Structure 1
Amino acid sequence: MTSMTHQYLATWFLSEEKINKILGNNSTEATDETTNASEINIPKVKDDTIEFYELADNPKFTGYYLVVKDPTRVKVGHTTKLNEEGQTTSQIAENYNAVAAVNGGAFVDQSSTSQWTGNGGIPSGIVMSGGEVVHNDLGEGNKTELLAIDKQGVMIVGKYSIDDLKERKIQEALSFGPTLVVNGKMTPMSGDGGWGIAPRTAIGQRQDGAIILLVIDGRGVGSLGATLKETQEIMYQLGAVNAMNLDGGKSTTLYYDGEVRNTPSNSMGERAIPTAIIVK
C-alpha cells in the first residue's frame, strides 16, 4: 500500500479489514504540535559553509546529506512555468543560480513519461517563495502539513494555514509530510511509519540553526531505500530538532556544485517537479 498509483490492486487479494490492520500497524501519528522558534539559535555571525556527506555503514541503502550552516541561504524555488510544466531539480537550481538543491513538495503528476508536457507542473497545498504566496489551493484559514522558513532562517514544521504563515512573517514554505521531528522529539510512529521502503528526501534544522538536506537512494542495486522510521531516526541522529519528510520516490534528487550527487530512481533520469528546496 505504499504506492499512490496502484493501491486498488490490494483490494483484489485482501479484505478491507486486513488492509486497515496492515496500515494501522505501520503509520505515523499526526501531530498538532507547533514549532517553538525560540529553541533555535541563529548565529549572529553568518557562516557560508556547506558540508557534503555520504551516509556510511548502512548495508541497506546509500544516502547523502548537506549541512547548510547559514539557514537564510535556504529558499523555495519553483519551475519557471508554475501550474503548467515542471522542471528537474537541477534545472530549478540553475534558474536561481543556486549552489545546491533537493526536490521539494507535493504536486499533481499528470504524466509518467515526459519530463515536461503535463508532468510535475502543478503543486498541491501551499507554496511560498521570497515572501510571496505563489500557490494556495486550500484557502486562507485551512491548515495543512508543511515546512516553512522565516526571515531569520528559523524553520517550522507541522500544520499551518496561510494566515498562520503571514503572522509568523514566513518567507519560504511548501506542503508535504509527515513531520518527522518537532521541538526535539520524534513524531510517534507505528511499525515502519507507513509508505514502505522507498527513496526518501527530508529537511531538518539543528538547534544551532544549520539546515540538513537529506536524500536516500532506492529501488536500485545496492540501495533498496528507507522507511519513514529509518528516515526519522537518521534526521534525529544528525541533530535535527525539527524535521519534515519531503516528496520521495522517483522525485528524490540532490544537486550540489553543478551536478546531481545521488542516483534518482526514475528511469528517465531526474523527474520534472514544480518545487525544490534550493541553497543560494
Structure 2
Amino acid sequence: MRQQTAQRQSQPVAPSRRARKQQLTSKKKRMTFGRFIKNLFITLFIVGALGAAWLFFTPSGTNVRMLIADTLITTQHRHWAKYIIGEEALQNRVAEYNKRFEGMGDEKDDQNISIGGKKSGDLVEIKPVSGAGFSGYLMIVNDPTKIRIGVPNRVGRGEKVTSMVKRTGAIAGVNAGGFADPNWKGNGFQPIGLVIADGKVYYDGGISNKKKTQIVGIDKNGRMVAGNYTIPQLQEMGVKEAVTFQPRIIVNGKGLVKNAADGWGIAPRTVMGQRADGTILFLVIDGRQAHSIGANLYDCQNIMLENGAVIAANLDGGSSTVLVKDNEIVNSPSSQHGERYLPTAFLVFNDPEKVDIPNIWEGLDPRKIDPSKW
C-alpha cells in the first residue's frame, strides 16, 4: 500500500488548464517579439540600402554628400571627408575650391567708395542677424579709418581677441587672418600669408614680390581692399591694414558665390564688407551648436548684400570666429576649449593714431617658427 502511494506521488502532475494557457500565451509573445525584431532588422536593412543608393547614385544624394564633405573640410576633421566622397575626390574638391577662390579675387574692383561723410549713430553698432539654421551678429563700424590690425604681444604665442581688445583699449574686435595649425593644436602665432599693419609689412610668410596673395584689408583712406595682389601692388595702393584670406565674395556690388552648393559647406563664419558710403560691416555667424549650426558663403553673401555691401570677403572662421565689444564676447565661439589664440584681429579704436602696435615678428625667420610649440 505504501509502495503504491509512493509511486503515485512520484508520477508527474499534469499542468492545469490555466497553466497550459499561460505557457501558450508566453510562447506566442516570444514568437511575436522575435518576428518583430526580425522585421525591424529587415526594414532597417532595406531603408539603409535605399538610403545608401540614394546618397551615392542620385544627383540629389550626391549634392548632400558634397555638402557634408564641404562642411567637414572647414573643420579640424577634414580627413573625415574622404569617407564620404573618397580621398581622390577630397583632394580634387579642395583643389577646385582653391582654383575657384583664386578666380574670385581677380576681377578688378572699380567700385567708388565715399569716405568722410558724417553718419548718425555710434562709431560701433551691433545688430542680430539670422537665417535658416543659423544666427549671429553684424557689427557696423561707421568710420572705416578707425580700424587697425591687432597682433600678439608675445613671441611664440597667439593672443585671444578679448585680450587684444583689453590690452590696446579697443572698442571692439573680430578675428582676422588664418594661421598655421599643425594637428589643429597650433599656438596661433604663425600667420598664413601676409600681415600689414599701419602701412608696414609685419609678416610676409616668405611671399615673393612677384607672387599674388588673396588679401582682405583697408587702405590709408579707409577704403576696403580685397582680392589677389602682389606686395608691391598693395604698397602702391596705399593699403594700411590687411591680412591674407579668401575668397572675396562681393565685388562691384555683385555677388560671386553662385548658389548654396558653391558655398563651401556649413560652418561658423566671419566676413568683412563695406557699403558705398564707407561703412564697414563685420558679419559673425555662430556654428556647430544647437542654436546655430552655421552658414555657407552664399548665406553670408546674401546678408551682406541685403545690408548694402558693395565689396565683401571671407575671413578666418570655424573655431576662430569671435566678436568682442566692450571687453565682452558677443557671440558664442564654437571651440570646445573656448576662445582661440590668434595671430591677427581687426580692432576698432576711438583714436587709432594713438595706438602703438609693435611688430612681434620683426627679425624672425618664418621658416624657423614652430607653430606647434607652446
Which of 175, 190, 203 aligns to 1:122? It is: 190
Q: Given the alignment of the two structures, is residue 8 of structure 1 paired with residue 79 of structure 2, yes or no? A: yes
Name the structure, 1 or 2, with higher relative contact order (CA <8 Å, separation 6+): 1
TM-score (normalised: structure 2) = 0.67
Q: Given the alignment of the two structures, is residue 69 of structure 1 paired with residue 137 of structure 2, yes or no? A: no
Q: Which runs of 5+ in 2 are unaligned?
A: 1-68, 350-374
Which of 123, 127, 146 aligns to 1:53? It is: 127
Counterpart AA for 1:72: T
CA distance in 1, matches of 2:261, 2:279: 27
> After superposition, what is the alpha-carbon deviation per residue over 1:125-160, rounded to whole angstroms, capped at 9, x for unaligned?
110011111100212221111112111100111101
* 1:24 to 1:273, Cα distance in 2 relative to 1, 3 A: closer
Counterpart AA for 1:120: G
- How far off is 1:263 after superposition? 0.4
* 1:266 to 1:49, Cα distance in 2 relative to 1, 3 A: same
CA distance in 2, matches of 1:219, 1:10: 17
Which of 185, 205, 220 aligns to 2:289? It is: 220
- How far off is 1:65 after superposition? 1.2
> After superposition, what is the alpha-carbon deviation per residue over 1:168-192, rounded to whole angstroms, capped at 9, x for unaligned?
1111110111101011111143543
Q: Which runs of 5+ in 1 are unaligned?
A: none
List aligned pairs for 1:77-116, cutoff 5 A. 77-81=150-154, 84-110=156-182, 112=184
CA distance in 2, matches of 1:22, 1:133: 32
TM-score (normalised: structure 1) = 0.89
Counterpart AA for 2:200: E
* 1:153 to 1:101, Cα distance in 2 relative to 1, 3 A: same
Does structure 2 retain, via aligned residues, the 8 Å contact 1:203–1:243?
yes
Does structure 2 retain, via aligned residues, the 8 Å contact 1:86–1:273?
yes
Counterpart AA for 2:125: E
> Identity over aligned residues, as a percent?
39
Q: Which has the higher strand share?
A: 1
CA distance in 2, matches of 1:227, 1:26: 14
Q: Which has the higher helix share?
A: 2
CA distance in 2, matches of 1:95, 1:159: 32
CA distance in 1, matches of 2:152, 2:146: 19
Does structure 2 retain, via aligned residues, the 8 Å contact 1:26–1:189?
no
Counterpart AA for 1:176: F
CA RMSD of aligned residues (A): 2.4
- The SS at the match of 1:98 is coil
* 1:178 to 1:12, Cα distance in 2 relative to 1, 3 A: same
> After superposition, what is the alpha-carbon deviation per residue over 1:67-94, rounded to whole angstroms, capped at 9, x for unaligned?
1111001111111135x21111111222
- The SS at the match of 2:281 is strand
